[in-house]
Amino acid sequence: DLATALNNRGQIKYLRVEFAAAMEDYTAAIECQPGFEVPYYNRGLVLYRLGCFDEAMKDFRKVLELNPQFEDAALSLKQAILDKEEKQKRGY
């Protein structure tokens, strides 16, 4: 389906380190199929790598709302919280 195709295309762009383009595809996949948790997770990973911890945590929480058994999202959420706290401690 279209959402899966957009998500997969986003993955290719992510692997090419084309983060902005990957996020566009993940967002399009979400708009196409809002109940599909995988593009939220993938978009969260990009946001995390860019240091946008609040936005990443929002996406990881949405994944867990849609699929509470998504273990990688739970781990990524915990890591984003820890990294945000560490960043705040260091003052940047």
Taking the C-alpha atoms of residue 39 and residue 27, their distance in angstroms, rounded to an integer, is 7
The correct answer on CATH 1.20.1250.20 for the domain covering 1-88 is no
Residue 50: predicted pLDDT: 95
pTM passes above 0.75: yes
What does the pLDDT read at residue 18? 97
Convert the chain into a string of H (helix), E (strand) and C (coil). Answer: CHHHHHHHHHHHHHHCCCHHHHHHHHHHHHHHCCCCHHHHHHHHHHHHHCCCHHHHHHHHHHHHHHCCCCHHHHHHHHHHHHHHHHHHHHCC
The confidence score (pLDDT) of residue 55 equals 98
Residues of the chain with pLDDT under 70: none
Looking at residue 23, its pLDDT comes to 98
